[in-house]
Every structure is written in structure tokens, then in C-alpha cells.
Chain A
Amino acid sequence: MNPGFGSRLAQIKDAHSEAARFRTRAIIGFLLIAACLSVLGLRFAYLQINRHQEFSARSDQNRISIRRVAPTRGLIYDRNGVLLADNVAAFRLEVVPEQVKDMARLLGELGGVIALSDDDIEHFNSLRRSKHAFESIPLRFKLSEDEIARFSTERWRFPGVDIVPYLTRSYPHGEEFAHLVGYVGRIDEADAEKLDAARYAGTTHIGKTGIERSYENDLHGEPGYDLVEVNVDKRPLRVIERVPPTPGKNLYLSVDVRMQRAAMDAFEGRAGAAVALDPRNGEVLAMVCVPSFDPNLFVNGIGKVDYATLLNAPDRPLLNRAIAGGYTPGSTVKPYVALGGLELGLRRPSDTVLSTGEFFIPGQARGYRDDKRGGHGRVDLVQAIAQSVNTYFYSLALDMGIDRFSGWMAKFGFGKPTGIDLIGESAGVLPSREWKRGRMNQAFYPGETVIAGIGQGYWVITPIQLAQAVSILAARGVRHRPHLVRAIQDGLNVPPAPVALPPADSNILHNVENWGPVQQGMVAVVNGGGTASGLGKEFPYVIAGKTGTAERFSRTDEEWTSISTAPIERHEVLFEAFTPADDARIALIVALEAGRSGAHDAAPIVRKILDIWVKDDDVRNVAGPSP
């Protein structure tokens, strides 16, 4: 430890060189340090200059979060401006999970003040999983005034729970428009997958059926947003910029609330559908399905029990019969078949057929019956339609052959969706060689052609299809695609703009002269002692129509039964009509799933709808097409 004795002198001598050595080392050390700090400085420069943009962007990403603000949904009106779908103020219960110590206990105690269903709690819990703990999560929608009052006095017991106002969808006409307007419902996982997440970020509800669904894009509107500065937990600290949402567009439908109500009432609860079109432009004037349901039940989540009841009811209230219900058209196809005979040059109006009560395909033993035992005798086209003489159409269909038959009937839109602005339309079935081969891989037999001629056999139509067909006929061969929305209003201070329609298809008739005899036949149905005589009594315009009565059950007996004496509920019954007969402004059909005959059950409903329609006919004509 101690320095050696002799080294003391050397140490003193060394003092100078030691100091010099230190000086050198200090300078080297300083230079090394300066070099190291330079490297550090360069590293800063690299981050702050070379990569500045990248880190700037990442810093902003960190800092700014976009909070979407849901737009107000567009309203839906009828043609006269009566509200069909409204947004009304309501109150919901919201919970901020972060402020709740014991969620299970809170929900238990809260259930004592405000009724909470298992569905509510389940939905709440699933939302909780996808949100931050500081976000307010809805627990119960549509609180009653009573519930609000009760909660307000007990509020102190429930920190983190609050009543929040919101806009909820309301359908003031309930059942009458349940299928047509449809309803909105809470966005579920299946919806969420298909949606533009950015556009729907703040939206809780989406159109599920009807117009609400098919016009979702217009009704929804564009979300606004708040640019919010957030911290590391994404907790919003302040709003930097606010862009208000653009409300959804308002829709004006072509339907008329009064006609819709009259049609609904006229059914008196019997299952079926009615569709009324304006043959001049394809506007849907009324479209009802019976039975119906209350769409308001679905808006804030229908309970499981309610839903099961609706879903499993034997008369299927949830089915939109007007566009997805399948019916056998029966005799309602006869005017089209007759027109085909003229157009194809197979018949002249004056050509007659002898009805003996039974029709035989040459060389075959099986008989095809007329409705009247012993037949109608010798009938021409007008009489054949008026009396609904099967034999006339058996022979005509046979003469046409199935290919020409289905080719012609396709021009009236059978066998394919009409393209109405609703989702979920069925195509129905137009009997044809291709259809049968595709479906059953079998050839088409002449006997099947024969019964296709009277709307039996493989035929399936939807009410909207038949309404379109009769509308084409009423318009003397011109088709307009059926549609419900006639005007769209984009913004509060803008008048509703009529929806541009695709130009009408070219006339399906080669010779418009051929229309006359068919129309005469349909006029005779109502006014010439035909199957629906008396229907046009005391109506200001001439009504043209045609009955249809189709077998609901296969005939097991060989008894000869006539439609007029058949037991009630034996048939699917239909009636199609248009008026005024020469210059139609309405074409409509009624289909009932159970009835004695088209004339007995369906035609009166048609008349009731027409009675309401005619009251406004003048106004409608004068007012023109704009709402």
C-alpha cells in the first residue's frame, strides 16, 4: 500500500510528466465524448428530420380519434304527405361500466326499478365487450314515463346509470304498412359485416325489411363526426373540430294511406294480399298483406316470446304476401291467353269453340272439365272470358303449344320478379319446357299445356306479378315497372324531386286492335252477365275484371262440383280489375288464400278499394304526378 522508499524522488520528478499525460488523456477523453454526443445528435437529427413526417403522422394518429355522429334517419310519407315512418323522441337507460363497482348487483337492483328482460341484459353484455369501459352503453330502450319517474327518485342509488334522450323510429300506421314500409332494427353482427363501418359507426339501427331496407342508402344519411383529442386510453379530452351529420333523405311513396286502410279493412282478417297500380306509370297505389303485425315491436328489439309467436303463427303474419306469396292464378290468366291467341294469329275474335263440359286432347281418354256441367255451348272470345269457359282456353293453349304459350305469357312478367323497389320478391313459376326440365328433368306433356291454359298446374304467381300483368293489359300493352317511391326530398328546404323512372318498355302488342275484344270480355265479366256481374253497380266508371278460382286441395272425388256451390275455403280466390275500362287509371288485384270463388270473396274487396280510390280520382288527376 505504501509507496516504496526510493520512489519518492521519482514521484516528484514524474509529477510534471504525469500532469502532461493527464492533459493528453483528458483531451482524448473530451474528443471521444464530443464524438459520442455527435452520434447522439445525429440520431436525433435522423429521427427529427429524416423521419419527421412519419413520426408526425403517427403522433397525430395517436392523438386524434374520430367520433362519428349518427345522422337522423329520413322520414317516409305517403303520396299526400301523411307520415308513415317518423322519428320520435324517447328515453333510454345507459350505463357507464367504469363507474359501476358491482355490475351484477347493479343490474339486479336496477331490475327492481325498471323492468329488464333477459334480452336487454344479454344485448347489453354483448355491447359491453366491444366498447371501452368509459363509454355509455344502452341497457333499456323506450322507457315509459312511469319508469322515468320511478328511476328519477331512485337515481342516487345507481351511480353510472343515466337516462338519455334519443330518437327512435315510430310507425304511426302500424300494421297497415308493416310489410310495405318495413321496419328498422338494431344492427346485428350479420348486418355489421356487410356495412361500411365508417358510415355506420354511430348508427344503432338499420332498415331490416320493406322500404326501410331497400332505401336504406337514401334514408340513412351521412354521418358527421367530431375530431376528438384522446389520451392513451382513447378517453376523449376535447373536441377539435365538429362536422354535423347530413340527415337522411325523406321518401314520398305513391301509396295512399286511406286506400291502404280501406283495403286492409276490406279483408276482414282473411289471409291474402291486394295490390293496386297506376297503369299509366307503375306507381303502387296500395299494397296490403293480411294478416300483419306491429312493426313498432321490432324497432328496439322484439322479445323472444313475441317473435316466436309471430314466426310460428300458422297464417304467417311476417310473410310479405304481396311480393313473396305464391298463388295459383287460375282463370285470371285467361284474358292474357286470349290476347295471345289473337296476337299469334291462332284465333279471330269471332272464332267460336263448342263447350260440352269436357275437353279431350285428340287421341287421349282423359277429360278436362268445364266448370259448368254440360258445358257453355258455343262461345266466342268475349263470352269465353265473361263466362270463364275452360274449353276455349284448353284448345287455345293446345294450339299455341307450351313454347309459344310461355313465351307470350312472359311478356306480362310472369315467372320473373317485377323489379319493384322492395327486397325479397319471389319469381313465381311460369310453366315452360325449360322450367320443367330444370326443375324435374322431364319433358312437358300436352295435358300440362292444356291446364296451363286456365292457370292451373305448375303456375305460381305473386300478387304483384298479377297486378303488373293486369296493369300492362289496362295500359294496352305498355309495361311500367311497379314502384313505391315517387319522390325523394334531399334536405329540409328542397322540394321533393320526383324519382326518374326507366322509360316504359315498348308495347308488347303487335296489333293494338287485338286489345279491344279482350277488354270487352273483361268488361262483360262485370257488366255483361259474366262471372262477377253486379260488381260495377253504381260505380261512376266502367270496370273491367276477371275472376280466378283455383283448387286449394286436389280433387279426390269424381263429383262434379261447381265453383258457385263449392264450400267456403275450398279455393284460392282472386280478382283482377282495371277502371275506367277504356282509359284505366287504376289496375288492381285481390288474392285470398281461402274462399268460395273469386267473384264471391275477392271481387267485393276490389270494389271497396275502388270506392275509396274514386273519391280522390279527380283530385289526383288534376294534381298531377308531383306530391
Chain B
Amino acid sequence: MTRNLLLRLELWALRALRRPYYDLPLLGALLVLATTGLVTLYSASDLDRHLVLNQAARFLLGGVLMLAIARIPPQVLRNWTPWLYVASLMLLIAVAVLGQGRGANRWLNLGIMRFQPSELVKLTLPMMVAWYLHARDLPPKWLTLGAVALLIGAPALLIAKQPDLGTALLVAASGVFAVFLAGLAWWRIAIVLGAAAGAAPLAWHFMHEYQRNRLRMFLDPEADPLGNGWHIIQSEIAVGSGGWLGKGWHHGTQSRLEFLPEHTTDFVFAVFSEEWGLLGVIALLLLYLFIVGRGLMIAANARDTYSRLLAGAISMAFFVYVMVNGGMITGLLPVVGVPLPLISYGGTSAVSLLAGFGVLMSIHAHRRLLPR
């Protein structure tokens, strides 16, 4: 009996060692990133311990969720996918009807906690696209592409209407990446991009006035330095004054003296840049690149098409966060409310990001044991 138990334990340990449910390099990188996030937040919030502990609690919750999801085999996820997708779409519609939030309807009040269905879509959409493509002939043809466009468009438009352009962009990007990874022919890509460019004026027409203003001030922030351009200018000042080595931790005057808006959330990267300088920024960007690269490696070694496309889409979408946020705070891209992953303060995005990494780890754990 005891011997039997010991044998089983040994077997479990052996399997865990050889095929752990978590990917050590990825986990390590995420730990470094989360720690950096907490340290940066502590400074950006002017040593607000309460805020940092709050964020740490969310990391903990997200971490537990990540390890739990890592135990679910991809096949199970695949089977749930259509239901999850339909459920999240329903939630989005519910938000549109009875949601609440400041200025934008993004939240559903579930009594004990408020919940943002669009965060859920960040996972269920790439899952759905991967699920759909998994059963098709690849590379996808026009018909498949049209179906995928519907799958992506429905939730993306619902989110954009909330209005939350940033999340809509992230959601759409994850679906698009899945199609790209599925091997969509280059000439088809070219035609789609051309059509998108042609439709740009149409998008302008459907934009909210505040979104148009953001675009206008992105084009010329100095035109209205105390109005709409204020955020961009103050953010550039913060970044630029950092120099090579930065002003040092908790010595960033731009954020501490409240010149920088939203300095714990959307503009936390500016605080980081001001305090750690270009060297810090490069280190952080390399860390992000490493995470994306590791994610793509996991995808490449995945067992089936569904897992491959899902892991690849999640990894590449992760990059979009960094690019849009970094582009915004440096004035390279318009102001779009996208957090810097695992550094910006805010629970929902941290939890959903970590859940995504949970999926990656599950795919890693159930990879082909023998390559090729």
C-alpha cells in the first residue's frame, strides 16, 4: 500500500519534472516582470503601500488562475471553446444593455465584484478563431477568411462601441494574428490591408468625438499644450528627461508632482522611463520580447493546429499591449487606453493576461514530447 503510494508519487514527480505544467523560463520572466511592476507602482503612486498590496493580491489571484488553467489539457479547452465564445459574446451584449462605468460602459456588476466581459473576450476570441481554423483547410481561403472576419468583428465592434478602442484593438489583433499564423497567403494579406486603408475614412466617420480629438492631438500635440495635447507633452517630458540612466527610483519629478496624468495606469511606462532611463527601457523591452519569443516557441512545439494558433495568437497579442502603450507615451501612436502588461495598475487586465499565460503553459505541458 505504502509502496504503491510511494511508487505513484515517484511517478508523479518524475512526470512533473520531465513535463512540468509550467514553463520555467516563461514563469521566471513573468515573475521578474511582475516584480518590476510592483516596484514601479510603489514609486509612481508616491509610496502608496495600499495600492501596491492591492496589485500584488491581483497578481496572486492571476498566478493561481494561471497555474490552474495550466492543468487543463488543450483538448478540453478546445471542446469548450464555442460555448465560451458564445457566453462571452452574450456578456458583451449584456454590458451594452445594462453595463455601468464612468463615461464608458465596460463593467458588469456581479454583486461581489465588478467584471469586465471584454477581458474575457481577449481569451475566448483567439480560442474561437483557432478552433474554427483548426478544422479548415489551411492556408485559409476567402470563405474561411470571411467567416473569421465575422467571428472577430462581432465582439470587436461591441467593445469599440462601449467605447473602449484599446481593448477592441487588442481583441481584434489576437484574431488577426491567428489568421496570419495559419498561413494566410501574402497576396491575400496585401488585399486585406489595402481594403482596410480604403475604409479608414469610414472609420473616422464612426469614431466618437473624443477619439477624433485624440487622433488630432496625436498629429500635433503642441497645438493645444494645456488641453488635449497635455498628456502627450508631459509624458514626452517625463521620458525625455530620463536620459541614459534615469533620475533614479522615486526621483521622477514629473509623476511625483502630478504633471503626468494617469501615472499609475496608462502612463506608468513614462514613470518607468523617467526613473530608469533608456537602459531600463531597453531591458524592459527585451524582457517583453523574450516573453513573446518564448510564447511563439511554445506555439511552434504545440501538439495540434488549435494549440499552435492559440498560443501564437496570445503571444503576439501580448506584444500589441507593449507597442500601443509604449507608442502612446512616446508620442509615436495616438492615445489609446491600453495598459502596459503587468506593470500598469489595474486588476482585470493583469488577471486576464495571466490567464492567457495559463493557456500557454497548458499547451506547453501537453506539447509533442518528440519534436518532429
Contacts and interface: CB of A to CB of B under 8 A. Distances in A.
A392 to B, nearest CB: 81
Contacts of A56: 240-241, 243
A178 to B, nearest CB: 49
B180 A25 contact: yes
A622 interface: no
Contacts of A45: 278
A29 B177 contact: yes
Nearest to A229: B257
A257 to B, nearest CB: 55
13 contacts: A19-B300, A22-B181, A22-B183, A22-B309, A25-B182, A29-B181, A37-B285, A37-B323, A41-B281, A47-B330, A48-B281, A49-B243, A62-B237
Contact of B257 (A22, A43, A62): A62
B138 to A, nearest CB: 6
Nearest to B186: A28
Nearest to B327: A40
B349 interface: no
A10 to B, nearest CB: 8
A214 B150 CA distance: 84
B135 interface: yes
Interface stretch (B7-15, B84-92, B287-295, B355-363): B287-295
B132 to A, nearest CB: 9
Interface in A36-52: 36-37, 39-41, 43-45, 47-49, 51-52
Interface string B258-298: 11000000000000010001100110010011001100100
A37 B253 contact: no
A55 interface: yes
Contact of B312 (A22, A52, A229): A22
B136 to A, nearest CB: 8
A33 B300 contact: no
A59 B237 contact: yes
Nearest to A10: B137
B43 to A, nearest CB: 16
Interface in B100-158: 135-139
B316 interface: yes
B254 interface: yes
A26 B311 CA distance: 11
Contacts of A37: 285, 288-289, 319, 322-323
B299 A44 contact: no
B241 A29 contact: no
Contact of B243 (A18, A30, A52): A52
A239 to B, nearest CB: 15
B333 to A, nearest CB: 9
Contact of A19 (B139, B258, B308): B308
A55 B296 contact: no
A59 B254 contact: yes
Interface in B330-352: 330-332
Interface string B186-217: 00000000000000000000000000000000
B168 interface: no
Contact of B181 (A26, A63, A233): A26
Interface in B14-64: none
B278 to A, nearest CB: 4
A596 B197 CA distance: 103
5 cross-chain pairs, A with B, having the tightest CB-CB distances, nearest first: A55-B240, A59-B241, A47-B240, A48-B278, A231-B257
B326 interface: yes
Contacts of A237: 257
Contacts of A30: 292-293, 296
Given A29-B316, A47-B330, A52-B242, 12 more contacts: A22-B300, A25-B182, A36-B319, A40-B326, A40-B327, A44-B282, A48-B242, A48-B243, A48-B281, A59-B253, A62-B237, A229-B257
